[in-house]
Structures are given as structure tokens and as C-alpha cells.
């Protein structure tokens, strides 16, 4: 499987929070983030990313999980899941976890692979992420871009 890495900057386009009444500072958060991928691999560079994450936080820290879609100009998509943690210390919010490719459309049909991600909030509505991992396109032995 080829190695891959990249980054994206994203903006929250939809967010809702709910306070859970079982402990001080416990809240659930649902967010949709949109951004654009940057990678040396042509299969990912310029792809438009949308991800939907659910966070279970106490005092701003806790678990996160969700789904993502990367869409290319030609309409081909890859999809997957992610899970990780959000850590808030003072005003610094960081994210870290793993992602798994679960398939796609067009040339990404049958996509497998996954990796890790790390990021941070640069404002209350914007994040920056870096990611790395491996992938395999169905029927291909090596697909580095």
C-alpha cells in the first residue's frame, strides 16, 4: 500500500451543542466541517472534504467520532470513518485520532486503508489538520500519485 500524507484547513458550517445534565461541563457536540485537501498525491490534492463529527466532552475534552467524504472535480468520492480525542487546555483545542477508508465511487470504489490525524482549532469555527497513512485502490498494486 502506498504511503500518503496531507493537510487541510476547514471551517465549521453547521454546529449544535447539547448540555448533558449528569456532570458539570458535560456536553454533546455535532459539527459539519468543510475544507480542501492538500497532498503531494494527485488522488487527494484539491479534494473537497466534508466531515461530520460527534464529540462527547467534559470540560472541553473527550471522545470524537464521525464520517467523512472527499469529493473530486470529476465527482469521484472516497468515504470513511474516524475516531479520536479532543483535548482542551486553556484556550488551546487539539484533535488526534485514526481514520479508516471504507470505500468510494468511481476510481475509489473498493478503496481500503487508513491512518492517523492531528489537528488544532485556530478559532472557534476553524481547524487545521495533518494526516498520514496508506491506501490501496481496488485492483491496483500501487497507486501513489
pLDDT (0 to 100) of residue 138: 86
The CA distance from 27 to 18, in Å, is 5
Q: What is the CATH number of the domain that holds 77?
A: 2.40.350.10
**Residue range of the domain that includes 32:** 3-136
The CA distance from 43 to 49, in Å, is 13
pLDDT (0 to 100) of residue 2: 83
User: Largest Cα–Cα distance in the chain?
Assistant: 52
pTM for the full predicted model: 0.90
The CA distance from 14 to 34, in Å, is 9
Dihedral over Cα of 133, 3, 108, 36: its sign? positive
Report if residue 103 sits inside a domain: yes
Report if residue 37 sits inside a domain: yes
Report if residue 53 sits inside a domain: yes
Report if residue 36 sits inside a domain: yes
DSSP state of 47: P
Report if residue 14 sits inside a domain: yes
Report if residue 101 sits inside a domain: yes
The CA distance from 19 to 39, in Å, is 38
Report if residue 141 sits inside a domain: no
Report if residue 142 sits inside a domain: no
The CA distance from 74 to 71, in Å, is 8
pLDDT (0 to 100) of residue 45: 96
pLDDT along the chain (145 residues), means of 10: 93 94 94 97 96 96 98 97 97 96 95 97 95 88 42
How many separate domains does the chain show?
1
Amino acid at each position: 500500500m502506498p504511503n500518503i500524507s496531507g493537510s487541510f484547513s476547514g471551517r465549521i458550517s453547521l454546529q449544535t451543542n447539547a448540555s448533558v445534565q449528569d456532570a458539570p461541563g458535560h456536553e454533546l457536540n455535532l459539527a459539519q466541517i468543510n475544507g480542501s485537501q492538500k497532498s503531494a498525491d494527485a488522488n487527494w490534492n484539491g479534494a473537497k472534504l466534508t466531515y461530520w463529527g460527534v464529540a462527547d466532552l467534559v470540560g472541553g475534552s473527550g471522545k470524537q467520532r464521525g464520517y467523512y467524504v472527499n469529493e473530486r472535480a470529476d465527482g469521484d468520492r472516497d468515504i470513511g470513518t474516524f475516531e479520536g480525542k479532543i483535548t482542551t487546555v486553556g484556550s488551546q483545542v487539539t484533535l488526534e485520532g485514526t481514520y479508516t477508508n471504507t470505500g468510494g465511487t468511481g476510481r475509489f470504489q473498493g478503496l481500503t486503508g487508513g491512518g492517523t490525524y492531528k489537528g488544532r482549532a485556530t478559532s472557534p469555527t476553524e481547524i487545521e489538520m495533518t494526516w498520514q497513512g496508506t491506501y490501496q485502490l481496488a485492483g491496483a498494486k500501487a497507486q501513489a500519485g
